[in-house]
Structure 1
Amino acid sequence: MHKIFLPLLLLFSSLYSHQLRENYLKISYNKKTQELFVNIEVETRPFEQAYENLLDDNKNGIISFKELRHHQTYLFSYIKKHFILQESNKALSLKDAKLTFHRYKNQTYLTIEKKFINIKLEQLVLHYSLFFSIEKNHKLLLHLDDTRGDYVLSNNDRIYKFSSYPMTQLQRMYIFTKTGFSHILDGLDHLLFILMILLPSIMKGIRHSSIEILKIITTFTLAHSLTLFLSATGILKVNTTFIESSIALSILIVSLLNYFGDYKHINKKIVFLFGLLHGFGFANVLEIAGIKDRLSFIVALFGFNFGVELGQLLVVLFYLPLLYLISISKYKTNGIKLIALFAALISGYWFMQRVGLV
């Protein structure tokens, strides 16, 4: 039995709390005056993890705003080497850009703002390689005005050529579908929650398992889609720390229910309730992207949610063979307990981390 569960346990033992793993570039362009306004949001977490010894001046394990500002010149120098805007093959200097640090969604960002004049947009090219040597799945979400379009740069797609031609809504749909798909696969807490709510289905036997899985996943989908819409549109705002810690707590609760064999309480009601929390977590990307055009936002929202559902479907298909192996094993009950215990330990750590206890 240990041969079935050991790879899974090794996988989850290496997990850390869910992070956005994205930087954001917002650009406005005035075609008449040829003025280019650049706003770069760079998360400091990769810096803090890779260069902790350099940034943590008092060696207390916490990198404060004061310490970040103290090393601001170094951080900015690093960014300039890996974020290069070129017009007609000539680099635009970020010298004298406005630099500020701020907190958003439990993460610290360095904001870089600068205005350029006499810029021809169609001759502008961005070369981006920031953090790829530190974190290969890092991304840059680029938003150019409200009508020209959006794009995602990644480790395998590092160059973006600007254009004055508007992006079609179909292209925007494709971009945000890809973003939503990759976002759920990066959201390790969401993946662990899905596994925990699917485990009880195998206790009802093979015949009923597929129907039960379908019901549970449909319930989870409806719930997180609802709050994704409410949060992204600004209709409902909830404290970020509360949401992130509650997501970890939701995993801990269902993990303990699985461990103690109280499967009947992992039902559609509790899945719907916890699914609402996870939907607020999914909305982070769209909130930061700041798309103001109504139609473009609706298309981005629909595409992002569609991508999340595709990613979720892939995850469920990945879990199905594992669930089947557990269901036919004579160690089924102990196997569930083992997985649930480890999930409880991981989510418990996430919870303490998010409320500031560790």
Structure 2
Amino acid sequence: MMRILMLCLLLCAGLAHAHKPSDSYLTLTVDGQEIRGQWDIALRDLDFAIGLDANGDAAITWGEVRAKLGEIDAYAMSRLALGTAGQSCPASVSEHLIDDHTDGAYAVLRFVARCPVPVEVLQARYSLFFDIDPQHKGLLRLAYQGTSSAGVFTPEKSSQAFTMTRPSRLTQFLEYGREGIWHIWIGFDHILFLLSLLLPAVVLRKGHAWEAVGAFRPAFMSVLKIVTAFTVAHSITLTLASLHFVSLPSRLVESTIAASVVLAALNNIFPLFRERRWAMAFVFGLIHGFGFASVLSDLGLPSDALALSLVGFNLGVEVGQLAIVAGFLPIAYLLRHTAFYRRGVLLGGSLLIAAVASAWLIERAFDLKFMPF
């Protein structure tokens, strides 16, 4: 188990970014033989791929972007292919903009693709940044006859086909549920926060030492309280933020999430909340909900099934979260009597988590980046 924890932590450290992982946002609107598109691509990713910062001052200006527009168009459009009925739909960029997302400035490419026949099944091949960043995702929002659906391009799913039918409510619900599961599984800060709270669930602190719980029920009840508190809290703020009732600055949210991981991990070494970890889960769960909402905001909620898609995404997050708990708790319970678990996994793992999260906190709070990947 310690090897698994170490592997997860090293992976998280290697993927520590000042903000969220690399994504681009592709919107396609199909109307007969015409496809109108908008593609939002992070300037930091384009800078890494083709070099935008001409003077090397770490501040990308509109002038530097404008000087590279032709290169940006060629780079991006060569990595997106649209077609239907086995025939290509050539695309050309018609407009350039700059927009701010929750994690920084993005180049916006608006384009039009024309197909030889009306689109009934849209075939799309996406390969932006996959050769330099295997963690990159292309988040698709596909609009057709007043309805919308979502999709995700990854290196494993770089080519996909979409049938031009009005998606059913069930389909939209399941799509957003899948997005919720995927987000919690790639949300390393959310995972480490949850693990930090779960690590002591199978032991009890006696003075300055940890002793194994005598039965499974106390451990299960501790986990249940933590997961319930976290779920209730992030569901509240996810809903409020997604419906635009409350909004917080991205840097504040991301920095506080990193700080929550640090505190949760250090609490296992220098107890502050002791057995009230559920209270920590609830308080910081409110902030984690804003983090989930930023992803859902970028995906977009379909106006014709807003509530259903929001519920689907939230339930997807819970399913992903429960899968992590289900994998962790039985193993931890079996190892609870061992010094290996108490010293190596609980204390050693908490120190490693605190170290990784501290790096995230510094990066996010001061807009720095320690690692080039």
Bigger mean CA deviation after superposition, 136-145 or 337-346? 136-145
The alignment's C-alpha RMSD in Å is 2.8
- Given candidates 334, 341, 353, the residue that maps to 2:351 is 341
Report the equivalent of 1:301: 310
Q: 1:206 to 1:220 in 2, by over 3 A?
A: farther
CA contact (8 A) 1:121 1:164 kept: yes
Could you give the per-residue CA deviations for residues 71-92 of structure 1, whole angstroms, max 9, x where no partner exists?
Answer: 3332321111111223561332
Which structure shows the bigger proportion of residues in helix conformation?
1
Could you give the per-residue CA deviations for residues 189-233 of structure 1, whole angstroms, max 9, x where no partner exists?
Answer: 001001111122222315211211111111111111111111111
- Tell me the SS of whatever aligns to 1:133: coil
Task: Work out the CA distance in 1 between the residues paired with 2:253 and 2:214.
Answer: 35
Which structure shows the bigger proportion of residues in strand conformation?
2
TM-score, reference length from structure 2? 0.83
Report the equivalent of 1:24: 25
User: For structure 2, which runs of at least 5 residues remain unmatched after alignment?
Assistant: 205-212, 369-373
- Tell me the SS of whatever aligns to 2:82: strand
Task: Work out the CA distance in 2 between the residues paired with 1:238 and 1:93.
Answer: 37
Report the equivalent of 1:327: 336
- Tell me the SS of whatever aligns to 1:307: helix
Partner AA of 1:297 in structure 2: L
CA contact (8 A) 2:91 2:112 kept: no
Report the equivalent of 2:208: none
Q: 1:328 to 1:123 in 2, by over 3 A?
A: closer
Report the equivalent of 2:72: 75
How many residue pairs get aligned? The number is: 351
Q: 1:162 to 1:322 in 2, by over 3 A?
A: closer
Report the equivalent of 1:43: 42
CA contact (8 A) 1:48 1:63 kept: no
Bigger mean CA deviation after superposition, 98-107 or 185-194? 98-107
Could you give the per-residue CA deviations for residues 107-159 of structure 1, whole angstroms, max 9, x where no partner exists?
Answer: 33221113457872326432222222233343323223341533333333333
Q: 1:341 to 1:87 in 2, by over 3 A?
A: same
Task: Work out the CA distance in 1 between the residues paired with 2:106 and 2:183.
Answer: 19
Report the equivalent of 1:120: 118
Could you give the per-residue CA deviations for residues 49-92 of structure 1, whole angstroms, max 9, x where no partner exists?
Answer: 456xx4443445x3524544443332321111111223561332
| Cα deviation, residue 316, structure 1 | 1.4
TM-score, reference length from structure 1? 0.86
Report the equivalent of 1:131: 129
Q: 1:80 to 1:212 in 2, by over 3 A?
A: same
Task: Work out the CA distance in 1 between the residues paired with 2:350 and 2:243.
Answer: 35
CA contact (8 A) 2:91 2:114 kept: no
Report the equivalent of 1:201: 201
Task: Work out the CA distance in 1 between the residues paired with 2:341 and 2:160.
Answer: 51
- Tell me the SS of whatever aligns to 2:26: strand
User: For structure 1, which runs of at least 5 residues remain unmatched after alignment?
Assistant: none
Report the equivalent of 1:290: 300
Partner AA of 1:229 in structure 2: T
Could you give the per-residue CA deviations for residues 249-299 of structure 1, whole angstroms, max 9, x where no partner exists?
Answer: 1111112221214451652222101001111101123212333524x2222
CA contact (8 A) 1:256 1:344 kept: yes
Report the equivalent of 2:60: 64
CA contact (8 A) 1:43 1:110 kept: yes
